[in-house]
Structure 1
Amino acid sequence: MSAAADGFRMPAEWAPHERTWMAWPGPNPTFDGPDDVAAARAAWASVAHAVRRFEPVTVVCGPGQAAEATALLGPGIDTVERDLDDAWMRDIGPTFLTDDRGRLAAVDWRFNGWGAQPWARWEHDARIAASVADLAGARTYASTLVNEGGAIHVDGEGTVLLTETVQLGPERNPGWTRDEVEAEIHAQLGTRKAIWLPRGLTGDYPPGGFGTLGHVDIVAAFARPGVVVAHSQPDPAHPDHEITEEIIGLLRARTDAHGRPLEVVEVPAPTELEADGRWADHSYINHYLCNGGVVLCAFDDPRDEEAAAIFRRLFPDRMVTLVDARTIFAGGGGIHCITQQQPRADVR
């Protein structure tokens, strides 16, 4: 039986959370050398502290790393030790589900290092979703689809955002048709309508650097049913200018699972066009909603406050907290990529 057939669905991120799960950076190809590891740990800790203001946080650490993590995280954040390869809990962790009976479940997607990327390791990360689900006391549904949490975004009312270069890419699911992917996504998340975007941002693809081959959570995300925030690149010198124009136009032409035309709120990209010698994919879309808060990526950029003002208007009952995300983006993701919500199962 699938999760949806058993009555489970993925709540929207703005639904109440039980806690947030994160993973602790350790030595691996993403963080090359002690200085990079230290910088990553400081960045991850800043996000954990920002989230902890609003809800409990549990950080999964590699064997023997919990004591050092606790020293940086402080006593208010829980730690647990499990084997890890990398530190992107959105992607390696479970996708949590709830039902109307107050039960918690989770999807354990297949994970293959973001499409078997040459720099990635995933022997341990491929098993961490089941481990975290077990720690949370969630019933686990193992999917046959190669997928990650950053590659999906739901409105909690039946609609899911996807990108063609992820779920339909040969690096993850060779031989799968669009219909087959949609059927599996709907069967696990309890959704019934998929809105496909053609691709992600330029900086999310090789050559050079790290990337996911087009995760949606850096491009577009639901802010509430019928409303999507979308990354906009105003500068024609950046290749994402044309890409984001196409995506925004596509979203405005779509309806959700209830037939509502989507309202699209454009969030301009930071002014910096390049980072580490590549086209920058810095994006405010990769934010994290927690109980009463919005943890928003910052880049020491003039548009940081402009983005914060947009999110304050969208979420007037939540406190918007800006956290420097440049170190996180240098590793291939953002604040949303390193956090994973566990929804409260007793909320109807």
Structure 2
Amino acid sequence: MPEFYMPAETEAHERIFMAFPSGGYTLGDTEEEAEAARTTWSQVAKAITRFTPVTMVVDPSAEADARRHLGDGVDYVIQELDDAWMRDIGPTFVRTKGNSLAAVNWNFNGWGAQSWASWEKDQLIAGHLAQLTGLAELRAGITNEGGGIHVDGEGTILATRSVQLDPGRNPGATEAQIEEEFSRLLGTSKVIWLDRGLSRDNEEFGTRGHVDIVACFAAPGVVLYHDQQNPQHPDFLISREVRERLEASTDAQGRKLTLIPVPAPSVLRDEEGWVDYSYINHLVTNGGVIACAFDDPNDQQAATILADAYPGREVLSVDARELFARGGGIHCITQQLPRA
């Protein structure tokens, strides 16, 4: 057994960590935009609390706004923040041989030292949460984010070359070196490499291709993937590439994968260009699935697919358009602490 391993996200959770939006492009340029961000983050938190306690990390400047939106419905940690994407700035929690927990610090650097990002405060959040939870902090030898990986809990991990081999994160790194670090920290023995993420996520204000908007494990051997069915959208070709790669892959146990396509929303563009709206970017927690909705004709079909993929869990959909307008989804703003 490896010294550390990352449990599947479908395992029981003690709590979910989030961060409250307090500045920068996430908050926006106007009070109206800021309030839209605060409201959407809060709606996600309220949906999660139906199933799992939420701890909200809040910059001191935003405490009044957070309490106005969330009241006593969450626990608060007051800590300086640059941004609010907890999946990426927070630690990845893993189990040890003795079945205790530890916190992996991925050395967050603003999604590959992007010119528009700031991370002086956010790069400390993983360490702060390790201290808060009383867990050992494991410092990674690579730069990564929680949105850049997805595991099945049985030794298999999904990742993209565009993120893990990004010169802004891991200059000169090889696939073998990345795989070795995943093995050391996450207990994985098989990486299924996808070349890239969705088109918009590879543009200037994206992550350079996080996997958690493209594909995820619903169970060992079962993968949900983003299926853009409209050939006009550039993600049509990416969906095909992803499907072909997954069809040709086996997991760490040697199984062929069962693939479940999740149709993309029917909307193709917003005022910024091609959208990367995706139902893949959901949170599974205890008895629930917190799903993205887009006021789209495909919302209900996606919710039904997720309900079938996660039997026995209630699917709650939250309008995620304000999240995606800022560069992510529900999975991106949440991070699970497995139950001890």
Distance in 1, Cα, partners of 2:64 & 2:272: 36
Distance in 2, Cα, partners of 1:138 & 1:196: 30
Matched, 1:111 2:115: no
5+ residue gaps in structure 2?
none
Asked if the contact 1:168–1:176 (Cα under 8 Å) also holds between the matched residues in 2, the reply is yes
The AA in structure 2 aligned to 1:263 is: T
Q: Give the equivalent residue in structure 2 for 1:128.
A: 125
Q: Give the equivalent residue in structure 2 for 1:279.
A: 274
Distance in 2, Cα, partners of 1:220 & 1:107: 22
Distance in 2, Cα, partners of 1:343 & 1:197: 27
Q: Give the equivalent residue in structure 2 for 1:98.
A: 95
* Cα deviation digits, residues 306-328 of structure 1 (max 9, x gap): 00010111112000001000000
Deviation larger for 37-46 or 63-72? 63-72
* Cα deviation digits, residues 215-238 of structure 1 (max 9, x gap): 000000000000000000000000
What TM-score, normalized by structure 1, do the two folds share? 0.95
Q: Give the equivalent residue in structure 2 for 1:35.
A: 32
Asked if the contact 2:4–2:184 (Cα under 8 Å) also holds between the matched residues in 1, the reply is no
Asked if the contact 1:65–1:81 (Cα under 8 Å) also holds between the matched residues in 2, the reply is no
> Which of 3, 10, 14 pairs up with 2:10?
14
SS of 2:291 mapped into structure 1: strand
* Cα deviation digits, residues 182-238 of structure 1 (max 9, x gap): 10111111111100001000010224xx21000000000000000000000000000
Asked if the contact 1:104–1:137 (Cα under 8 Å) also holds between the matched residues in 2, the reply is no
Matched, 1:202 2:204: no
The AA in structure 2 aligned to 1:37 is: A
SS of 2:60 mapped into structure 1: coil
Q: How many angstroms does 1:137 deviate by?
A: 1.5
Asked if the contact 1:200–1:218 (Cα under 8 Å) also holds between the matched residues in 2, the reply is yes
> Which of 51, 57, 62 pairs up with 2:48?
51
Q: Give the equivalent residue in structure 1 for 2:161.
A: 164
The AA in structure 1 aligned to 2:135 is: A
The AA in structure 2 aligned to 1:113 is: G
* Cα deviation digits, residues 246-273 of structure 1 (max 9, x gap): 1111101100000000111000000000
Distance in 2, Cα, partners of 1:67 & 1:291: 30
The AA in structure 2 aligned to 1:28 is: G
The AA in structure 2 aligned to 1:214 is: G
Asked if the contact 2:25–2:326 (Cα under 8 Å) also holds between the matched residues in 1, the reply is no
Asked if the contact 1:70–1:77 (Cα under 8 Å) also holds between the matched residues in 2, the reply is no
Q: How many angstroms does 1:275 deviate by?
A: 1.8
Q: How many angstroms does 1:100 deviate by?
A: 4.7
SS of 1:30 mapped into structure 2: helix
Q: Give the equivalent residue in structure 2 for 1:320.
A: 315
What TM-score, normalized by structure 2, do the two folds share? 0.97
Asked if the contact 1:20–1:339 (Cα under 8 Å) also holds between the matched residues in 2, the reply is yes
The root-mean-square deviation of aligned C-alpha atoms, in Å, is 1.1
Q: Give the equivalent residue in structure 2 for 1:304.
A: 299
SS of 1:145 mapped into structure 2: coil
> Which of 105, 113, 134 pairs up with 1:137?
134
Residue correspondences, number:
339
Q: Give the equivalent residue in structure 2 for 1:223.
A: 218
* Cα deviation digits, residues 141-163 of structure 1 (max 9, x gap): 01121100000000000000000
Q: Give the equivalent residue in structure 1 for 2:21.
A: 25
Distance in 2, Cα, partners of 1:65 & 1:130: 21
SS of 2:120 mapped into structure 1: coil
The AA in structure 2 aligned to 1:282 is: Y
Distance in 2, Cα, partners of 1:67 & 1:236: 46
* Cα deviation digits, residues 12-43 of structure 1 (max 9, x gap): 00000000000000121332222222111100
* Cα deviation digits, residues 283-332 of structure 1 (max 9, x gap): 00000001100000000000000000101111120000010000000010
Alignment of 1:227-306 (within 5 A): 227-306=222-301
Identity of aligned residues (%): 54
Q: How many angstroms does 1:117 deviate by?
A: 1.3
Q: Give the equivalent residue in structure 2 for 1:179.
A: 176
Q: How many angstroms does 1:101 deviate by?
A: 2.6
Q: How many angstroms does 1:138 deviate by?
A: 1.3
Asked if the contact 1:110–1:126 (Cα under 8 Å) also holds between the matched residues in 2, the reply is yes
Asked if the contact 2:226–2:279 (Cα under 8 Å) also holds between the matched residues in 1, the reply is yes
Matched, 1:338 2:333: yes
SS of 1:258 mapped into structure 2: coil
5+ residue gaps in structure 1?
none
Asked if the contact 1:64–1:81 (Cα under 8 Å) also holds between the matched residues in 2, the reply is no
